[in-house]
Structure 1
Amino acid sequence: MSTSFMDNNYITFNAHINTRRYQHALDYIGQNILFHVLQSLVIGNLGNILEITEKALGENKPLTKLFTDLQISQLKEESPSSWDITLLYKVIRIICGMALMDSDKWSKKEDGDKTLESLLFDLKELRNRGIHNSHRQVLSSSQLEHSLEELKTLSMKILDALIETATERRKEIDVDREGGLRKYVEMVIADVKKRVVEPK
């Protein structure tokens, strides 16, 4: 077996490890941020999440129109703190007093005029791209660094926009949790950066 073949395999293996670490960071950070958004803006009591969701949807939109059987089971039986990004995103759009679900605020592309809705959409899309491309996407160390910085920047923008939205609605933000979440984002990203696998 040639040395160049072994070297190429080694580099590819390292890139796959980098990709997996990025995806874990994205899942951990994204889930924590979306749960914080839900806690901060929910209209009602999180303990009655199923009832609140059904009421917000109204009689003309049963849960089965928007949620899978598994998600409905999670709505009924699990704490929102354990939900994944997809389910949290869906529920936030319904019960947090955000723009209507068909509003273009949820996908506005202009960088200079980002709403909280569009930033949450960006986070959801970032996660979806990672999931759908995981079988073919590999990240070099420099690409991983760039992706982590992109995730960090987006996370901080969401937290800033959340404070602005909550202030406009005169809702209180859990300052300790918000500050801790910023530190958590920094910690997770710093930890992944330490473990970046460099090609030999």
Structure 2
Amino acid sequence: MDTPRDQLLRLLVQHSFQHSAEPVFTLASGRKSRYYINCKQTTFMSEAMPLLGRLFFERIKAAEQKDDTQITAVGGLTLGADPIAYAVAYHSALQGTPIQAFSVRKEPKGHGTQKWVEGFERLGARVVIIEDVVTTGASTLKAIDGALHAGFQIVKVLALVDRQEGGREELQRKGYDLESIYTTEDLMRLVRQSGD
């Protein structure tokens, strides 16, 4: 029987992944790539949410045990991180160990309190930054910046897919380790096995 990781990988390849022999896809950075990954086509699906919640929750719990720390909340840059953070919060509540969700704005709110973060707020809270897909690491660093403005301590950066195009290395240079559930290599391996 397929594991939750296998099931989610299949959904990603089916709904979120395109590939080409030549670099024909233009990325947000302006670079061309052989791969196009739109995780939102999967992360917003009802059948993906229980799998996302479980897989990310398990990684978060492993990080807590390894570092002997408690993680209070998860979140990242809107819109990509939002469904994953909600799935984790829901799954954690079912497990009896609630982890809160938050969302980092792309720009601070232009009126009122001019907040970077919506949802959970607590100075000094230990949090995990969530990403759907990491390419250069720029959007992840923006999420980290917003979370730091909110007074959070960043314990870990956890992505659904690492495109393996320099983002991991850029985050390491800034002092953050990236862990991902999948890499582009994982997606391509399933494509090859399926004969597409």
**TM-score > 0.5, shorter chain as reference:** no
Larger radius of gyration: 1
The structure in which a higher percent of residues are helix is 1
TM norm structure 1: 0.27
The structure in which a higher percent of residues are strand is 2
* Higher RCO structure (Cα 8 Å, ≥6 apart): 1
